Amino acid sequence: MACCRRCCSRRNTRPEVRVFNQNNFISSAVQVNYSLSQLLEPDTETTFNETTYNTGVSFSPRIDGLGVDIVAPGVYKITFTATATATQDIIANFAIALNGVAIPQSEMSQLITTNGPQILFSTIIFKVISPSANINVINTGTTTFSVTNAKLDIVRVGNF
């Protein structure tokens, strides 16, 4: 009895297995936030007490609440937003920081008036070469101001 072609062709077909290497891109994202009010004195970092989501394997939110450790090299889009208030009209200076040092491309100045809260916003695309890189937001100015709804979003957007 002869074998049908359909049966034989299925047995001879082997599934293709993709081999992982460092050139494969794995998308991942993390969002940490702190909804309560916190006072940011000069040279202090923002605290984040809640991780809203964390996908992939590129991040480790810090137990002490001071930002996020990036644990995989790659290209990242980092965005910070918060609502700021002050007891008098001031210029608030802030930046996204790498290991406690402000990243120059992310430094921002914002006028904060007593008329109402202002939105602070900064976003950068940044290349992380050697993990572990701690990402946070730091007050780079000489004035103290208050922030609420502080949110730090980090998305891995590619390899390098």
Residue 99 lies in a domain: yes
132: pLDDT confidence band, cut at 50, 70 and 90? confident
Give the tokens for residue 11.
Answer: 């047995």
The string of pLDDT tens digits covering residues 45-74 is 999 999 888 887 778 888 888 889 888 888
Domain membership of residue 143 (yes or no) is: yes
C-alpha pair distances (Å), 22 with each of 18, 45, 91: 13, 33, 44
- Is 39 part of any domain? yes
What is the model's pLDDT at position 112? Answer: 93
In a domain, 19, yes or no: no
Distance, in Å, from the CA atom of 57 to the CA atom of 48, rounded to the nearest integer, reads 19
The count of structural domains within the chain is: 1
| Residue 5 maps to a domain | no
Rounded-to-integer distance, Cα 61 and Cα 42, Å:
23
Q: Is residue 82 part of a domain?
A: yes
**Residue type (1 letter), 28:** S
Domain with 101 in it: 30-158
Q: Is the pLDDT of residue 20 over 60?
A: no
Question: In CATH, what number is assigned to the domain containing residue 148?
Answer: 2.60.120.40
Q: Distance between CA 122 and CA 87 in Å, rounded?
A: 23
